[in-house]
Structure 1
Amino acid sequence: MSDIGTTVTGDRFAGLGDEFAELTRSLLAATTIGGVLQHLVTAAVRVIPAASLVSITLRGPDGLFYTPVETDPVAAELDQVQYRTGQGPCLDAARPDGPAHAESQDLAHEPAWPRFGPAAAERGMGSMLAIALLPDVREPRMSGALNVYAREAGALTAADRDLALLLATHGSLALANTSAVTATELEKAHLRKAIDSRDVIGQAKGILMQRRGITADEAFDLLRRTSQDLNVKLAVLAETLTSRHTELDLPGPSA
């Protein structure tokens, strides 16, 4: 972990002017906290080439962490691993007194977060970057982080850190001016969404366990690998399987 001190070259910014101009317009037009955060994660996937998954961590006034938006349920699951273990880049960056950014270039062998790193690697992630996000400077103060996951170790560059910092700065300013939805309402909406996703994923796991004679962990791993291979969100794949389970099956392991 280190402070951001690298300047992005002009070539790295080539073609990004329009992207950030559009992001600014979208953020200013957003009327809810959820809208701002969704624009933020969508933009991060577009402007950071190595980004495989993106999420937002928020830390409420009660000190609890949660993930209100993500580009894929696997990102929320990875965030939850950090919340459960009490360690990881997103926790460090999301704390009010935390660093401007925290990162790991090799999650499988990360000494700073020995419980989170290998767990993330088992879920297919090689590196991660978290940038501090400050949605509310008023008391009781909230804080957060923009989380970027990459499948390959060493994939996230200094230029990617600078782009993520720009995105987080845009997002923090927009959040400071957005008051249509309170953080409590946002958290409740996220919890409803998370419960719905867990329910359908649980149903899909049950179908695979019964059909294949495999364990719950093996069923989830099959769902996760298939969602990655097909480039389909895990929750969407699970919903499709549960609604059409008499017609569909997932491919077996390759020979």
Structure 2
Amino acid sequence: MTDERLWQLDKTAFASTDGSGQVMSGPLSEQFVELTRLLLTASTPAQVLQQIIDAAYRVVPGADLVSVTLRAADGTFHTPVATEKVAVELDAVQYRAGTGPCVDAAASGSPGHVRSDDLAHETRWPDFSQAAVRHGFTAILSTVLLPEATPPRLPGALNIYSRRPDALGPVAQDTALLLATHGSLALAGTNAVSRADLEARHLRRAIESRDVIGQAKGILMHRRGLTADEAFDLLRRTSQDLNIKLAELASTLAARHTELDGL
């Protein structure tokens, strides 16, 4: 808990201002430079997007959750990368409603950023605001992101969620804009973002996860005399109790089942 509090203070000090309003370099300045270097040297769109959200989470004051919104040629939106799964769910609420900060920031003619400092009292996007507050997020900042170097250059958005009202102020806004600008330039230097390519990446992960879960189920069925459904329920309950991902638990069991007793 102490480490988390110090980290938040460190993030806040990253780009603090003095009494005259001048921006001062904080303790994260050197790390920001390094993250920017990594962002610009990424060789694929997927790597660039991952660098964007990792950098935003580390250096944007108030950031508790980060995602990227992209728009396909048919006008549909999707979230290819996020720091946590809940971001994908909250982004999807906006896509279904056809409105929300992610959608508005990525829309043609976007003002460049969309922000809400207190979602508990937000009236522009009732469905999204209620969902965000239920998950404990009370502020959001979405900054336009241009993921394609060639026409039609459909804009996307860098989305930053905070658990604290008024946490994503002008400093966070400027830092996010800087990251989104560098991210757009880095994406322009790679192949155009392809939804099929990104979805294939996630599909491979899903297949790998399914395979290892199948192995773990087989081990439990053999060792414990369980049915397939019972084995899966045991895995699911154990992953929840231990607060680790189901695929990670299954991978550990498959790799070290001879060492594990009492599962």
CA distance in 1, matches of 2:90, 2:209: 15
Deviations 1:81-103 (Å, cap 9, x if unpaired)?
Answer: 11122221000011232221111
Q: Paired residue for 1:110?
A: 122
Secondary structure in 2 aligned to 1:102? strand
**In 1, distance between residues paired with 2:36 and 2:102?**
24
- Please give the secondary structure, in 2, of the residue aligned with 1:145: strand
Shift of 1:247: 5.8
Output the CA distance in 1 between the equivalents of 2:210 and 2:160. Answer: 22
Superposition CA RMSD, Å: 3.4
Is 1:87–1:115's contact at 8 Å kept on the other side of the alignment? no
User: Residue 239 of structure 1 corresponds to which residue in structure 2?
Assistant: 247
Tell me the CA shift for residue 180 of structure 1.
Answer: 7.6
How far 1:49 sits from its partner (Å)?
3.1
Count of aligned residue pairs for this structure pair: 220
Amino acid in structure 2 at the alignment position of 1:122 = R
> Residues 17-32 of structure 1 correspond to what in structure 2 (within 5 A)?
17-32=29-44
What are the Cα deviations for residues 85-137 of structure 1, in whole angstroms up to 9, with x where unaligned? 22210000112322211111111221010111011111111111100001114
Q: Superposed, which structure 2 residues align to 1:35-50 within 5 Å? A: 35-50=47-62
Cα distance in structure 2, aligned partners of 1:74 and 1:238: 16
Partner of 1:207: 233
TM-score (norm 1): 0.73
**Could you say what secondary structure the match of 1:189 adopts?**
helix
Q: Which has the higher contact order (CA 8 A, sep 6+)?
A: 1
Asked if the contact 2:61–2:171 (Cα under 8 Å) also holds between the matched residues in 1, the reply is no
**In structure 2, the residue corresponding to 1:44 is in which secondary structure?**
helix
Amino acid at match of 1:154: D
Give, in angstroms, the shift of residue 241 of structure 1: 5.9
Q: 2: distance between equivalents of 1:83 and 1:142? A: 16
| Matching residue's letter, 1:189 | R
Asked if structure 2 preserves the Cα contact closer than 8 Å seen for 1:109 and 1:118, the reply is no
Give the secondary structure class of the aligned counterpart of 1:142. coil
User: Could you tell me how far 1:143 is from its partner in structure 2?
Assistant: 1.4
Equivalent position SS for 2:114: strand
Give the whole-Å Cα distance in 1 for the aligned partners of 2:93 and 2:32: 31
Deviation at 1:169, TM superposition (A): 0.6
| C-alpha contact (below 8 Å) 2:117/2:138 kept by paired residues | yes
Matches within 5 A, 1:79-158: 79-158=91-170
- Percentage identity across aligned positions? 50
Residues 27 and 195 of structure 1: is their aligned pair in 2 closer, same or farther, counting only changes over 3 Å?
same
- How far apart, in 2, do the equivalents of 1:58 and 1:241 lie? 31
**Structure 2 spans left out of the alignment, 5+ residues:** 1-15, 214-228, 254-260
Distance 2:210 2:101 in 1: 24
Q: What whole-Å deviation, never above 9, does each CA across 1:15-61 have from its counterpart, x for those lacking one?
A: 44423321232123211001011111111111123111101110111
Residues 172 and 247 of structure 1, relative CA distance in 2, 3 Å threshold: farther
- 2:258 is aligned to none
Distance (whole Å) between structure 1 residues aligned to residue 120 and residue 210 of structure 2 = 26
Maintained 8 Å contact 1:132/1:146: yes
Question: Corresponding residue for 1:67?
Answer: 79
User: Which structure has the larger Rg?
Assistant: 2
Distance in 2, Cα, partners of 1:198 & 1:101: 38
**Aligned-partner Cα distance in 1 for 2:206–2:101:** 22
